[in-house]
A and B are shown apart, each in its own frame.
Chain A
Amino acid sequence: MKCEQIREKSADYLAGELDEKSLSEVRAHLADCPACREELESLSAIWTKLGVLPKEQPSGSLRIRFYEMLEAYKKGTEKDRDKISLGQTLSYWFGRLMPRRPAYQIALSLILIAAGLGGGFLLSVRSRSAARTEVTGLRGEVDDMRRIVAVSLLKQASPSERLMGVSWSARIDRPGDEIIQTLLETLNRDPNVNVRLAAVDALYLFYDHPEVKAGLIHSLAGQTSPLVQLSLINLLVEIRERRAVEALERLIQDEKLNPKVKKRAELGLTQLS
């Protein structure tokens, strides 16, 4: 192998992309050629140094801005479809869907024709049925996105971001088990009282899920913050959850219980029975 070929191979050598055969050829040449050896050594020294340059972390606002953009984008399209107002964005958006989703095609062409005529009447007629199904489908997509955002935010180290995660969860129309579980976990495990308080409020929105009711009752025993205890009691009384009676009775037995919480729990018992 010649010095020139070594130079050609050096990039692959550094990236570790050389096969066995080429590697041994390169090594054989290096053994005999001090110039190439020196050059390749200094190249790898730099290459290695580059490898240990620290990876920088962007600030938290980057993530927030991204999700805001995504949300705005979604909302924009959702609103447009709701109103069946045919701005450029919308036809662009539909244009994207057309070739891939034949099911939409008839409805979409109708809209596009209507847009071409500039007639509002035709629009309002068709908007009733077709639009409704589209909006339903879209709501599912929006939900999907919110789910991803919420779960990712709830895992952040900053309590403010976790609060944001809770409020994203609260915006989901049909939360899946994942969201319910994540919220219950936040309620039980989050180190910050404020985040737990927010979780109680969010779970209230989903109380018709059987898991939520059970989870709330279960959580009562584990809470240490009087404010969170009060919030939970208020909620359980509010939704007339009779199965909470037992948990409240047990709570009252706790000697360390804050007297105000005790008072509220006792009142709650009379309200529930």
Chain B
Amino acid sequence: MKTIIRLAGIMILLWAAGLADNAQESQADHAVVSFSNPAKPGTVEVDISEGSITVRGYEGKDVVIDARWRERVLTKEEQEQEAALAEGGEELDQEELARKKAQAEKAKGMKTIEVESMGLTIEEEENVIQVNAEEGKRAVDVVIQVPFSTSLRLSCRDDERGVTVDRVDGEIEVETSDGPIVLTNVSGPVVADSSDGEIKAVFGKVVPGKPMSFSTMEGDVDITLPFDVKASLKMKTDEGKIFTDFDVQLKPSQQKKEEDERKEGGGYRVSFEKVTLGLINGGGVEIQITTYEGNVYIRKAK
């Protein structure tokens, strides 16, 4: 006797086509979507390949989505290619040049018809709202208002503007390639990764229990925590420095196990990479921070 019911997921398709004739103005779209069970905190997932994501908590039950399509912008890759061509094509190898040339020959006498990107897809199923921008050539800036307790999974792969979140208490998972990640007034566990961008997070409070993690290759990690937070930090940076105004109690690296030490006779096993373990107010929530070049800032909220 199962008591599960599976109601068919509803799919709302919006903005079927952005028409080419008003290409001069950027288009704005608007949608309001409800969670199937508003009594329970929902999850919003956003995945866009180019553009920016802004999420704000508000006192409402629905999720309000606004999207603004930008002018046709060249992708970073295309821009680089153009720049390379302008500099005399040195960056493009011979093979690729030949390919481009052959393509141009093929289309001789014809003109390009731009294939417009077809907008956003929004789906709600079992309290998860998914917002996806189709892979296209136009960037989109998405602004979303969510109930405070919503959990977020945000992915923004290719832009300078990145992801901004304000006043959301749910769990937050973010990844960007180039863009910065800026989180303010958050409390839930945050797991954030950026390849090249900076990560900044200001916590109003910290929910105990669940671990957090921040990683970025090139950018800094800048985290502000409440003064009375109980946290255990594990920080790794190859070339960056670590700054803090907390009274951090440094711990010998856990990476060394007793048995290992005996076995190795205290040889080279002094530090694994550049790991710093530190406790704030006696330790608590596990926070892992990994950077390559970036600095790490752990600030005390004023």
Q: Which residues of chain A have a CB within 8 Å of any CB of chain B?
A: 50-57, 59-61, 64, 68, 158-161, 163-164, 167, 192-195, 197-198, 201, 204-205, 225-227, 230-231, 234-235, 238, 258, 260, 264
Contact = CB atoms under 8 A, between A and B. Distances in A.
Contacts of B257: 205
B171 interface: yes
A260 B292 contact: yes
Contacts of A193: 175, 193, 215
B223 to A, nearest CB: 14
Contacts of B62: none
Given A160-B211, A160-B212, A198 B273 contact: no
A234 B171 CA distance: 31
30 contacts: A51-B2, A53-B3, A55-B3, A55-B4, A57-B40, A59-B41, A158-B171, A158-B173, A158-B189, A158-B210, A160-B173, A160-B191, A161-B210, A163-B191, A163-B210, A163-B211, A163-B288, A164-B286, A193-B175, A193-B215, A197-B213, A197-B215, A197-B288, A225-B193, A227-B193, A227-B215, A227-B290, A231-B273, A238-B272, A260-B217
B255 interface: yes
Contacts of A160: 171, 173, 189, 191, 210-212
A52 B269 CA distance: 60
Contacts of A205: 255, 257
A60 B192 CA distance: 20
Contacts of B189: 158, 160
Contact of B195 (A64, A164, A226): A226
Nearest to B188: A160
Do most interface residues of chain A lie in helix, strand or loop, or is the interface mixed? Answer: helix
Interface string B258-302: 000000000001001100000000000010101011000000000
Do most interface residues of chain B lie in helix, strand or loop, or is the interface mixed? Answer: loop
A158 B292 CA distance: 25
Closest 9 A/B residue pairs (Cβ): A194-B213, A160-B189, A193-B193, A159-B191, A163-B211, A160-B210, A234-B273, A52-B5, A194-B191
B238 interface: yes
B238 A64 contact: no
Interface size class of B (residues with CB under 8 A): 35 or more
B214 interface: yes
Contacts of B192: 194
Contacts, number: 106
Contacts of A54: 3-5
B1 interface: yes
Contacts of A192: 173, 175, 191, 193
Contacts of A50: 3
Given A158-B171, A159-B173, A204-B272, A164 B3 contact: no
Nearest to A230: B292
Interface in B1-16: 1-5
Given A55-B3, A194-B193, A64 B288 contact: no
Contacts of B38: none
Contacts of A264: 238
Contacts of B269: 238
Contacts of B255: 201, 204-205
B209 interface: yes
